[in-house]
């Protein structure tokens, strides 16, 4: 190696080290909540028709701080508090969307969205159809949902099935920090109304992601966005765990334990309940021949039931065992000290996997 070459190489190494240091700084762990907050801020910047409103979303920044700092940064015409009335919040958003705005509204908790159900089911979902396509309603209804945080009654419902059962609504639920950012941006840009379910136990979860890089990635791939695509969260060969939202981390935990026991499980994160990605789910189950569907909601007439039925219809001849479900019990969400018995656990998932008629 010549002196010149060495000097050049030395410089390159120094630059690489600097870049790596900068990258490390940028790659401070980011919380799920911060990713959502950044997605909202970026959407407000990108599109002046975006407005955010709801209960306590202004000065306080929301009870989970997802709208933290937005009123201060963008003003109280872009992010503001409303009177305490959920039907009013959704109904006003319908009118604003009719008049060319893109409302992103917050329901404070899952069960608090029920007063708005008529507005959502009869108007948000149906306006495009009622008007023969002339009046689309692009808007996002953010709902913190599900349990695992020790919440009191009416604060922990998994209400996704009500909305998934309503034609005209899209239903998204991210399970990773980067999806929190990307899927919320997609939801806001969608020409269709999106009910956006945020697993509240994940708000404080962290990951090494570069939000600026994600933003660039979102902008550059906007045309080819992945809306409606399920994600293979863990590749595997022996059985498929199909799940979404708060249960993805539990399924991954189960898969990790199974791997130690010699079973290689594939985990699929549905990401969007509507539209539903039959293709990815079916391809996986045809490959593994076995499936367990997991959802935190009570199991009777649930999203897990629908997924199970779809797998039976599409993959019957590839199945070595009946498709099983692991869900919450058919009970109202329990008080905090009892919730651990209700929520699907890794153990309960592994018990179900054990029942998939393995050859001795």
Partner 1 sequence: MSSETREDLIAEVSRKFGISPEDYMLPARHMINLLNPDGSLRSHEEQGTEPGHEYPLPSPAELIRAYEALVVGRRVNDQNSALVRQGRMAVYPSSHGQEACQVAAALCLQDGDWLFPTYRDSVAVMTKGVAPMEVMTSFRGEWHCGYDTKQYKVAPMATPLTTQLLHAVGVAHAAKLRGENTVVVAMCGDGATSEGDFHEALNFAAVFHLPVIFFVQNNKYAISVPLSSQSAAPSLAHKAVGYGMAGERVDGNDLIALMAIMGRAVRLAREGGGPLLIEAHTYRMQAHTNADDDKRYREDAEVAEWVAKDPVKRMESYLADSGLLGDEVSERISAHAEQVAKTLRDGMNQEADTDPAELFNHVYSQPTAQLKEQAALLADELAREEA
| Residue ranges in contact with partner 1 by CB under 8 A | 51, 77, 82-83, 85, 87-88, 90-101, 103, 115, 118-119, 122-123, 126-136, 167-168, 170, 190-192, 228, 274-276, 278-279
- Rank residues 160 and 296 by Cβ distance to partner 1 and give the closer one: 160
* Nearest CA among 239, 303, 233 for reference residue 269: 233
Q: Of residues 155, 317, 341, 342, which has the active-site annotation?
A: 155
What's the full length of the chain, in residues? 360
Least separation in angstroms between residue 303's CB and partner 1 is 14
Least separation in angstroms between residue 223's CB and partner 1 is 14
- Rank residues 98 and 232 by Cβ distance to partner 1 and give the closer one: 98
Burial-class residue 341 by CB neighbours within 10 Å (0-12, 13-18, 19+). exposed
- Rank residues 275 and 332 by Cβ distance to partner 1 and give the closer one: 275
Least separation in angstroms between residue 79's CB and partner 1 is 12
| 155 in catalytic set | yes
- Rank residues 192 and 238 by Cβ distance to partner 1 and give the closer one: 192
Least separation in angstroms between residue 31's CB and partner 1 is 31
Least separation in angstroms between residue 129's CB and partner 1 is 5
- Rank residues 78 and 206 by Cβ distance to partner 1 and give the closer one: 78
Find out whether 51 and 78 touch, Cβ atoms under 8 Å. Answer: yes
φ, ψ of residue 219 to 5 degrees: the values are -60, -45
- Rank residues 94 and 294 by Cβ distance to partner 1 and give the closer one: 94
**Residues 235, 40: Cα–Cα separation, whole Å:** 32
Least separation in angstroms between residue 275's CB and partner 1 is 4
Residues with catalytic annotation?
155
């Amino acid at each position: 190696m010549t002196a010149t070459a060495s000097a050049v190489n030395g410089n390159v190494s120094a630059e690489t080290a600097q870049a790596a240091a900068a990258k490390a700084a940028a790659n401070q762990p980011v919380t799920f909540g911060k990713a959502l907050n950044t997605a909202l801020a970026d959407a407000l910047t990108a599109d002046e028709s975006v407005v955010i409103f709801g209960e306590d979303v202004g000065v306080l920044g929301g009870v989970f701080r997802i709208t933290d700092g937005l009123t201060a940064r963008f003003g109280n015409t872009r992010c503001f508090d409303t009177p305490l009335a959920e039907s009013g919040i959704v109904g006003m958003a319908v009118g604003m969307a009719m008049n060319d705005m893109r409302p992103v509204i917050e329901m404070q908790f899952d069960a608090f969205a029920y007063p708005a159900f008529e507005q959502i089911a009869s108007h948000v979902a149906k306006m495009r159809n009622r008007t023969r396509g002339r009046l689309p309603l692009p808007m996002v209804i953010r709902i913190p949902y599900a349990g695992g945080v020790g919440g009191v009654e009416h604060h922990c419902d998994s209400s996704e099935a009500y909305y998934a059962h309503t034609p005209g609504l899209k239903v998204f639920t991210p399970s990773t920090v980067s999806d929190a950012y990307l899927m919320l941006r997609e939801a806001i840009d969608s020409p269709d109304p999106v009910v956006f379910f945020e697993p509240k136990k994940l708000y404080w979860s962290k990951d090494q992601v570069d939000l600026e890089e994600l933003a660039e990635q979102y902008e550059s791939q906007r045309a080819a966005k992945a809306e409606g695509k399920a994600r293979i969260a863990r590749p595997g060969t022996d059985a498929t765990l199909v799940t979404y939202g708060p249960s993805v981390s539990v399924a991954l935990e189960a898969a990790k334990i199974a791997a130690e026991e010699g079973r290689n499980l594939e985990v699929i994160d549905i990401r969007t309940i509507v539209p539903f990605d039959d293709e990815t789910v079916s391809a996986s189950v045809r490959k593994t021949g076995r499936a367990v569907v997991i959802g935190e909601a009570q199991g009777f007439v649930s999203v897990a039931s629908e997924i199970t039925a779809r797998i039976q219809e599409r993959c019957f001849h590839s199945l070595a065992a009946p498709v099983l479900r692991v869900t919450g019990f058919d009970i109202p969400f329990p008080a905090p000290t009892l919730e651990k018995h209700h929520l699907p656990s890794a153990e309960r998932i592994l018990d179900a996997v054990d029942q998939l008629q393995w050859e001795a």
